Structure 1
Amino acid sequence: MTPPARRDGTPEKKKRDSEMLLSNAKPARRQNVKRNKKATAQSVASDLGADWLYEDSSSAHNPNAQGERLQKVLAKAGVASRRHAEVLIEAGRVEVNGEVIKRQGVRVNPNVDIIRVDGVRVNVNEEHEYFILNKPRGMQSTMQDDMGRPCVGDMVAEKTASGQRLFHVGRLDADTEGLLILTNDGELANRLMHPKYEVSKTYLATVLGEADKALIRTLKEGIELDDGMAKADFVQVVDKNQGMSLIRLELHEGRKHIVRRMLKAAGYPVQRLVRTKIHTVQLGDMKPGGIRALNSSELTSLYKAVGM
Structure 2
Amino acid sequence: MAERVQKILARWGIASRRGAEKLILAGRVTLNGKPVQLGDQADPEGDRLCVDGKPLKATERPRHYYYLIHKPKGVVSTCADPKGRSTVLDLLPPPLRQGKGIHPIGRLDAQSTGALLLTNDGNFTLALTHPRYHIPKTYRVWLKGKVPEHVLDQWRQGVMLGDRRTLPTQIHLKTITQDKTCIDIMLTEGRNRQIRRVAEQLGFPVVKLHRLAIGSLHLGDLQRGQARPLTKAEIKQLRSQYNSNFPFHSSAPVREYQA
Q: Which category describes the TM-score, using the shorter chain as reference length?
A: 0.5 to 0.7
Q: Which stretches in structure 1 are left out of the alignment for 5+ residues?
A: 1-124
Q: How many residues align?
A: 183
Match of 2:167 among 217, 220, 231: 231
Partner deviation per Cα, 1:188-209 (whole Å, 9 max, x = no partner):
1111110010111111111111
Question: Is the aligned partner of 1:306 residue 2:242?
Answer: yes
Match of 1:195 among 104, 125, 131: 131
Question: Is the aligned partner of 1:178 residue 2:114?
Answer: yes
Label 1:210 to 1:173 Cα distance change in 2 as closer, same or farther (>3 A).
Answer: same
Counterpart amino acid of residue 203 in structure 1: Y
Partner deviation per Cα, 1:86-138 (whole Å, 9 max, x = no partner):
xxxxxxxxxxxxxxxxxxxxxxxxxxxxxxxxxxxxxxx99221110111111
CA contact (8 A) 2:69 2:227 kept: yes
Which has more radius of gyration?
1
Give 2:72's aligned residue.
136
In 2, the alpha carbon distance for the partners of 1:259 and 1:302 equals 23
The TM-score normalised by the length of structure 1 is 0.56
Counterpart amino acid of residue 140 in structure 2: L
Counterpart amino acid of residue 128 in structure 1: H
Label 1:266 to 1:273 Cα distance change in 2 as closer, same or farther (>3 A).
Answer: same
In 2, the alpha carbon distance for the partners of 1:202 and 1:270 equals 15
Which secondary structure does the structure 2 equivalent of 1:139 belong to?
coil
In 2, the alpha carbon distance for the partners of 1:194 and 1:262 equals 21
Alpha-carbon shift at residue 212 of structure 1 (Å):
3.2
Partner deviation per Cα, 1:138-158 (whole Å, 9 max, x = no partner):
111111112211111222261
Counterpart amino acid of residue 298 in structure 1: E
Higher normalized contact order (CA 8 Å, seq sep 6+, divided by chain length): 2
CA contact (8 A) 2:144 2:206 kept: yes
In 1, the alpha carbon distance for the partners of 2:138 and 2:234 equals 16
Once the two structures are superposed, the pairs formed by residues 1-308 of structure 1 within 5 Å of their partners are 127-156=63-92, 158-160=94-96, 163-306=99-242
Counterpart amino acid of residue 208 in structure 1: K
Q: Which stretches in structure 2 are left out of the alignment for 5+ residues?
A: 1-60, 244-259
Alpha-carbon shift at residue 235 of structure 1 (Å):
0.2
Counterpart amino acid of residue 287 in structure 1: Q
CA contact (8 A) 2:89 2:97 kept: no
Label 1:293 to 1:157 Cα distance change in 2 as closer, same or farther (>3 A).
Answer: closer
Counterpart amino acid of residue 100 in structure 2: Q
Moved more, 225-234 or 139-148: 225-234
The TM-score normalised by the length of structure 2 is 0.66
CA contact (8 A) 1:211 1:237 kept: no
CA contact (8 A) 1:208 1:243 kept: yes
CA contact (8 A) 2:170 2:185 kept: yes
Label 1:297 to 1:126 Cα distance change in 2 as closer, same or farther (>3 A).
Answer: farther
* % identical equivalent positions: 32
Across the aligned residues of Structure 1 and Structure 2, the Cα RMSD in angstroms comes to 1.9
